[in-house]
Chain A
């Protein structure tokens, strides 16, 4: 039997739907106050449901950090260590250390970039990991693209390992509008490159790129529709569009503009649903994450399946510079709701410049 660790960060991803960028430190409490609900149970259960290997013996973290989910399945397992009602990064690190003592050869973890950092702190390059994405900030390429991909990697695990970057951003800086990915280290992942998430590269504003963004902004501005509420996602391209519309938007938040007036900043799901009820004509403008192409389900989790269903696919405008677009194999969505994802799949026109567009597949 292969000794396999399983640990879940139960609070990863909770900040997303309420408009908070991450759940590191004290922000977790704020997300609870705002009504956030855990997203990780669904993630781990989706993955475990697809794992068909019979040779795995699990060492799992207690309660909501692992045990609560694996007991619904038919795997052999034992629980490692203890936890209190409230858990934090120290628990994650302590439990992984205990698992190592039990001799685990592979660690499956569910969380976001912060969790990947905790895993790295203990494991370094000792044993391989499979990361199941559930966080708000998803910069690190160590994560599988989806729960399905994670299961596929576990099922087809090879002895060939590659080192992938653990990236994270300073959450305080992120909330203040600064985007700076830092390299924290490397983790070993089973070689299956085509399924791994591309490195999310913060776009550097060089002169040509700045001009491209201005051209996109000009084109959007000239084609603005009357009496329409525009909801702009995060990113510097969107900030350029907002500037052209005469308002200053938050760099990483979701803001709403109506008739040249900023009527909502840093909106969470609740705020978005409120606006959707109020306005007849609404358009969302978003840009994909560089490198992996996600338009929904990674950087802007406030666009929940419910929000996207109400807005409708036809009212989603995607913008990206030509440089960014040409480096994408496709656009991706992973909202956590299969029906919403399927509805968004197909072909999408990305505005890449003034009077310029690229038709690209959404997977």
Chain B
């Protein structure tokens, strides 16, 4: 059996209540989602994030929201992103943007130089940042840097907080204060709903006009499961705790093998191995991890935290090689 540790999913399947809610949605798949259910989900998300519901946009996956923001708000702006990161940039968005600037973060600490970033905000800019960053797991921006950026009215900040529940770092409390702030979130990771793809946007005033008529196309299984999940989020926090504890254990064990571990704030670990066959050997044993050398630096791998016995299997193979 294959063990998937390459896509940063949550290894814990949600409880029966949530699965039953999704099944209830299946019983209604000949119908479009009802407005009252969509409003209920927004209210629950509003309560969960302490954000008014008119600042929330729902979508199947946050990638669509990020694409939409790039496509709409990049016109005549400079787009700034961090490298490495895995955001989609549509070619025509680049055609209408003034330019695309990537700021590379590098070993050993993968820090984003705040002065370098602030110096780049000298023209209308759309700054897109994943916080924490994928694949390094590092929190690149704290509240203080975010506020400095947001005080520059020429800059739009889009922070992707896909791993918020693991990192605890969010700018959600600034959403009513700064019109130029937008945040994307997902229930794929901490809430264990990757297969249902529920993403959402928290937005400042500047974005509201465009998104006022954004079509909300959620499937009924997604909608009902998300509502149920948010009614009892305790399962999510318990799973996040379990994953973070496992992460500490796996990191310690990996360090013992001489592998370089870059500690982060997510449900995955970035490592560097001097063994060029590292991912291949694990794959031969049925364990999939993300080999980053295809698109980034040679020797770097990203490993998602799995169930304890899956992590044991991983460590056992590494120890025996």
Contact = CB atoms under 8 A, between A and B. Distances in A.
Contacts of B106: 329-330, 360-361
A355 interface: yes
Nearest to B101: A357
Nearest to A323: B295
B98 A357 contact: no
A356 B100 contact: yes
Contacts of B100: 355-357
B212 interface: no
B274 interface: yes
B298 interface: yes
Contacts of B295: 326
Contact of A358 (B94, B97, B102, B274): B102
B116 A359 contact: yes
A54 interface: no
Chain A's interface size range is 10 to 19
Judged by DSSP, the binding face of B is loop
Interface in B88-108: 94, 97-104, 106-107
A355 B102 contact: no
A352 B113 CA distance: 21
Given A355-B94, A355-B98, A358-B83, A326 B296 contact: yes
A349 B107 CA distance: 18
Nearest to B102: A358
A193 B275 CA distance: 11
Given A326-B83, A326-B295, A347-B116, A359 B103 contact: yes
Interface in B263-307: 274, 295-298
Contacts of A361: 104, 106
Contacts of B104: 325, 358-361
A327 B103 contact: no
Contacts, number: 50
A349 B102 CA distance: 9
Interface string B62-98: 0000000000000000000001100000000010011
Interface residues of B, number: 21
Given A326-B84, A330-B106, A347-B116, A355 B296 contact: no
B81 to A, nearest CB: 10
A162 B274 CA distance: 10
A356 B99 contact: yes
Contact of A359 (B99, B102, B296, B298): B102
B111 to A, nearest CB: 11
Interface in B19-34: none
A179 B274 CA distance: 28
A312 B97 CA distance: 30
Contact of A327 (B113, B120, B296): B296
Interface in A146-195: 162, 193
B75 to A, nearest CB: 13
A284 B296 CA distance: 27
A325 B102 CA distance: 11
Among B102, B103, B295, the most chain A Cβ lie within 10 Å of the Cβ of: B102
12 contacts: A326-B84, A327-B296, A327-B297, A327-B298, A349-B101, A352-B102, A354-B94, A355-B94, A357-B101, A358-B83, A359-B104, A361-B106
Given A327-B297, A355-B100, 19 more contacts: A162-B274, A193-B274, A325-B83, A325-B104, A326-B296, A327-B296, A329-B297, A347-B113, A354-B94, A355-B97, A356-B94, A356-B100, A356-B102, A357-B99, A358-B83, A359-B102, A359-B103, A360-B104, A361-B106
